[in-house]
Structure 1
Amino acid sequence: MFRITKEFHFSASHQLKSLPPEHQCARLHGHNYIVEVELSGPELDEYGFVRDYHDLAPLKRYIDDAFDHRHLNDVLGHDRVTAECLAKHFYDWCKTHLPETTAVRVSETPKTWAEYRP
C-alpha cells in the first residue's frame, strides 16, 4: 500500500461548554491547529502518484475560508468541537472529495493529536 500525507494549518477559537466551569477548556480559547490528511492506494497512477498533491488545493481553500480565524462552535453549529470531532469532520469532507482518504489527524498543541481512521 502506498501512503501520502499533507499538512494544513489554521487558527481558530472554540469552547467546550459541556465541561465543568472550572475546566480550562470550558472557557473561550484558541489553538493553532494542524490538520494532516492521509491518502492511500495499492497502485500508483500513470505519473507515479497516489494522488497529485495539487488535488488537495480545494481542502486548503475550504479550511482557509470556513475555519481560519473563526469560532469553531459557530462553524460546526454545536458545542462538541474537540480535536476528535474535527478529525471526523475533515475526514468526511475529504472522503467525499478525495476517495483515497484513509485517515485525518488534528493537532491542537505541539504534543497532542487526535485521529479519525475508519
Structure 2
Amino acid sequence: MFRISKEFHFSASHQLEHLPADHQCARLHGHNYIVVVELAAAELNEDGFVRDYHELKPLKTYIDDTFDHRHLNDVLDVPSTAENMAKHFFDWCRARWPETSAVKVSETPKTWAEYRP
C-alpha cells in the first residue's frame, strides 16, 4: 500500500461548554491546530502518484475560509474536540478524494487525535 500525507495549519478558538466549569477546556481558549490528511492506494496512478499533492489545495482553501481565526463553536455542529474535527475533516476529504484513509488533528505539539475507519 502506498501512503501520502499533507499537513495544514490554522489557529482558532473554542470552548467545550459541556465540560464542568472547573475543567480548563470549558474556558474560552485557542490552539494552533495541525491537520494531517493521509491518502492510500494499492496502485499508483499513471503519473506515479497516489494523488498529486497539488490536488489537495481545496482542503487548504476550506480550512483557511472556514476554520482559520474562527471560533469553532460557531463552525461545527458537534463539540469542537480534536476527535470530532478529525472525523469532520476525514468526511470532507473522503467525499472529494476516495483514497483518503485517515486524518489526524493536533491541538498541541504533544497531542493528536486520529480518525481512521
In the TM superposition, what whole-angstrom CA distance separates every residue of 1:52-84 from its partner, at most 9, and x where no partner exists?
Answer: 000000000000000000000101134x11000
Q: 2:30 and 2:24 mapped to 1: Cα distance?
A: 11
Aligned to 1:112: 111
Tell whether 2:59 aligns with 1:59. yes
Q: 2:100 and 2:65 mapped to 1: Cα distance?
A: 21
1:25 CA displacement: 0.3
Runs of at least 4 residues of structure 1 off by over 2 A? none
Aligned to 2:11: 11
Q: TM-score, normalised by structure 2?
A: 0.98
1:101 CA displacement: 0.0
How many residues end up aligned between the 2 structures? Answer: 117
Aligned to 1:88: 87
1:29 CA displacement: 0.3
2:90 match: secondary structure: helix
Alignment root-mean-square deviation, CA: 0.6
2:75 match: secondary structure: helix
Q: Which amino acid letter does the alignment assign opposite residue 28 of structure 1?
A: L
Unmatched tracts of structure 1, length 5 or more: none
Unmatched tracts of structure 2, length 5 or more: none
Q: 1:45 and 1:90 mapped to 2: Cα distance?
A: 24
Taking every aligned residue pair, what percent have the same amino acid on both sides?
76
Q: 1:115 and 1:70 mapped to 2: Cα distance?
A: 22
Aligned to 2:98: 99
Q: Which amino acid letter does the alignment assign opposite residue 98 of structure 1?
A: W
Q: 2:23 and 2:61 mapped to 1: Cα distance?
A: 33
